[in-house]
Structure formats: structure tokens, C-alpha cells
Chain A
Amino acid sequence: MKQVRLLVGTRKGGFVLTSDGARKDWKVEGPFFAGWEIYHMKGSPVDPDRIWASQSSGWFGQVLQRSDDGGKSWAAAGNKFLYEGEAGTHQWYDGTPHPWEFKRVWHIEPSLTCADTVYAGVEDAAMFKTTDGGATWTELPGLRNHGTGKDWQPGAGGMCLHSIVINPEDEKQMFIAISAAGAFRTDDGGASWKPINKGLSSKFLPVPTAEVGHCVHHIAMHPSKPKTLFMQKHWDVMRTDDSGENWTKVSGNLPTDFGFVIDVHAHEPETVFVVPIKSDSEHFPMDGQLKVFRSKSGGNDWEPLSRGLPQKECYVNVLRDAMCVDRMDECGVYFGTTGGQVYASPDGGDNWNAIVRDLPAVLSVEVQTLP
């Protein structure tokens, strides 16, 4: 029988949750790296027992951990993230130039074809790559240097590169998103990049349809349809069918199109999940009712899913990397909250249950489907 392994990053440590194919009973292990913020944990698709964890601390900076036995033991990997050349400046909140300063790794994206190759999205926004299993990291400087980098400005959560999506049909094509700069694409493995924000509109920008400056919260792709991506933006849920060249709004009948997470069903590339929250200044579900919304038509027509989720006095948030889907025959969907709950649906979103409910605030949730 297949197994699933959930990798949960929280404000105060990392946790590994395992279950069999039924996904009813869960074993919770952790906290690993207790007291550290674990922004992201992710396993290699090539070698699922190789798992990465990004731990950071206001006191001690960034440490990157690697496990080669499925999370049972860990060892520190290289943690030297230095920008290439003269780092230069970007805009600060007040519009003045501010030096580029490395703070932490927000997102780890292992290569689809090589266990020793991993990409890291960092704050201040840049993309790094290792090809030696994490011993050394080098920046892909074409992203910051493509022309608009000096105009990027941090959002409320910092200027982080938080989303990395690799085209499974062509690993040289990758999509990334930066808060609050927007989405970018490379077609040459990270040497050169272009902004892909046409169709996005952000009222807070002097020019709402500007080339960069949009606050993209997350992007997602189904592996069988790599030209189609879905985006949860600061406001608006968006879709592209031409690899990001053009985006259209698919918020449709959502009660609010503000949110952080978005993900695609494992077997149905037109089935999409979001968790709307009330507004950009009220980061909690409407009316205290936690609901996942699912579209089976690639957007616009959304249905609320609430069976098993708290429907009163619930004021948690679901952060940008805190939703994922497994690859079991019946797709499992998972998300974690700032209230420390991790919810699972073993049936594509129809029914939910809390598999653990008193963790520190959840920052990220990833799942591995194991033989």
C-alpha cells in the first residue's frame, strides 16, 4: 500500500507526519530544529528520502538542513548565500534605494531529474542553485539583473521569492513569483528571465497594469498541462494558458478573491483549490467559517467545501506555501493554518479532518506520495 509523508514547517520547528493510503491515522514526529522558523521543507522527486528544510532565526540567520533517510536524521548543508557581484540596491518601503540583503530561504525546489540539484528562492528576492547536494550555492543573477530589479519593493512580509515551478517537460523553463514584484519566467535554466505579468492589475500601483510590482502570492501548475498556470494574487485569482504571456481573471463567484494559497488537483488539471480570506487587512476567513473553494472548470465557477472544517469562530490564516496535493489514486488535499492545525481531505476536498491541531503557526505544508 502506498504511503504519504507530510512535511510541515512552522514558526517553531519542523514536523513530519506519515500515514498509509487510507490517510485516516497519522503519526506525528517532531519538532525538528525546535525553536527555529522552518519556512519550507521539501523532498526530492528523484530520491524521496532526501528532504530539505530551510530553518531561520532572527539571532542566527539561515541554516539549511538535509536528510537522506526520509527525515529520521538531519545534517546541516551549506548555508552561504552570497549575491553575485556588486549586489546593488532595490527600493525600500519609502521609495529610497536600499542594499540587497540576504535574510532567509523561503522556498526550496529540488530538481525533477537530479537529486543533487536544488533551487532556492530567497529574501531579499533572488534565486540560488546548488548542483552538489547543497554544499555550495550560487546565485542565478540574471533574475535580479534583467532590468527591473532595482524597482522591486518589499511587501509587508518582506521581498521574498516564494514560488518556484519547474516545467516537467522542459526543466530549463521555470516560473517564479516574488512578493511584491510579480511573476517571472526563464526558458534557459535561469540564465535570463522575463516578467510575465500581462493581464495583472493592481490598484495600489501608480500604473495598475505595470510590468512589475504586482503582489503575487502563489502560482501552481499541473504537470500534464505546463502551459497553464494558476495564480493567487494579492487580490484576484488568475489563469494563463500560454506560459504566462497573458493572464485572465478567473475569480468568478468567489466571495472574496484575496488569499495566499492555490493548488491544482493531482489528476484533474482543471480542478483548482483556493482558500479565500476576508481582505488584505483582515487575514482570516469570512464570518469565522473556514472554507476551501474548488473549481472543477479551471476557475470562475467555485464551490465552497466546508465538511469537517470549523464553521464558527475560526480566525486563522493559510499562508502561501501551506497547501499541497498528494498523488494517490483519490487525490488528497492538505493545508496548514496559522492556528497550528493541519487539515487533510482524502477525497479531493469533499471531506476534511484535522490530522493535528496544536502545532505552532504553520508556514508550509508539502506532501510526498511514497510506494
Chain B
Amino acid sequence: MELPLHLVRLAGVSGHEVVLEVNAAPVTVATVLDALDAAYPMLEGTIREHGTQQRRAWLRFFVCEEDWSHHGMDAVLPEAVVNGKEPLIVLGAIAGG
């Protein structure tokens, strides 16, 4: 998946992409984020709210050039993402100053 700059720095990874192993089927937005939290615990709570587990309001998800922000956490990801050909992109909304 592809992460925004602040989360890349927080996780201490190089580049914007991280490769995750998801041991769940089907592979959904939630299971990918679970795998991300497990691999990088410092990111827990930064993409999903701790309590509700919902997407933070100012973040957006993109998959295969489509906005998946409102597909829901249990939406099953396309094969291209599952096999690593396309990333699940987390993008910060354009806001702030």
C-alpha cells in the first residue's frame, strides 16, 4: 500500500510504499489496515479512529484509480491489489495551511 509522507516518516520506512502480508480472506480494506498496524504499531490509530475503527475524516483511499473512501472497511479489494500489482493508496485530503 502507499502511505502519505507523515506516516512514512512515523513508520520509519523508506519510500512511500510498503508491502504487507495479509493472512485473511477475503482481503479487504480492514484486513490490509490490520496487517499494516501489526507490522508498524506506531501507525495504529492514525488511519482509523481508535474507538470507531472508521477512516479518519481527512484521509482518502484510492484503488485502481477509483476513490474507495466510501466503500466501507469490509469492501473486498480487487485482485490487482491482492497480488501486489496495484497499491491501496492512503492520501491526505487537501486542506490545512
Contact = CB atoms under 8 A, between A and B. Distances in A.
A36 B4 CA distance: 13
Nearest to A34: B9
A52 to B, nearest CB: 15
27 contacts: A35-B5, A58-B95, A58-B96, A59-B6, A59-B58, A59-B93, A60-B7, A60-B10, A60-B46, A60-B47, A60-B59, A61-B45, A61-B49, A61-B50, A61-B56, A62-B45, A63-B10, A63-B45, A76-B41, A79-B44, A80-B44, A80-B45, A80-B50, A81-B50, A82-B50, A82-B51, A102-B51
A57 interface: yes
A60 B56 contact: yes
Contact of A59 (B42, B50, B92): B92
Contacts, number: 48
A63 B42 contact: yes
B45 A58 contact: no
A34 B10 CA distance: 11
A172 B49 CA distance: 32
Interface string B34-46: 0000000110111
Contacts of B46: 60-61, 63
Interface in B26-82: 41-42, 44-47, 49-51, 56, 58-59
Interface of A: 34-36, 57-63, 75-76, 79-82, 102
A75 B45 CA distance: 16
A101 to B, nearest CB: 9
A59 B51 contact: no
A75 B47 CA distance: 18
Nearest to B49: A61
Contacts of B96: 58-59
Nearest to A81: B50
Contacts of B42: 63, 75-76
A314 to B, nearest CB: 23
A75 B5 CA distance: 17
B24 to A, nearest CB: 22
Contacts of B41: 76
A62 B42 CA distance: 11
B45 A59 contact: no
A136 B44 CA distance: 13
Nearest to B96: A58
A220 to B, nearest CB: 32
B56 A59 contact: yes
Given A58-B95, A80-B44, A35 B10 contact: no
Contacts of A80: 44-45, 50
A75 B41 CA distance: 11
Contacts of A82: 50-51
**Closest 3 pairs between A and B when the two form their complex, measured CB to CB:** A76-B42, A60-B46, A59-B58
A81 B92 CA distance: 22
Nearest to A77: B42
Contacts of B50: 61, 79-82, 102
For A57, A59, A61, the residue with the greatest tally of chain B CB atoms inside 10 Å of its CB is: A59
A77 B59 CA distance: 22
A292 to B, nearest CB: 30
A76 B93 CA distance: 24
A61 B4 CA distance: 14
A102 B52 CA distance: 11
A59 B44 contact: no
A36 B58 contact: no
Contacts of B6: 35-36, 57, 59-60
A75 B9 CA distance: 11
A61 to B, nearest CB: 6
Contacts of A81: 50
A18 to B, nearest CB: 24
B76 to A, nearest CB: 26
Contacts of B59: 59-60
Given A60-B7, A61-B50, 10 more contacts: A36-B6, A59-B4, A60-B10, A62-B45, A79-B44, A79-B45, A80-B44, A80-B45, A82-B50, A102-B51
A281 B73 CA distance: 44
A89 B95 CA distance: 28
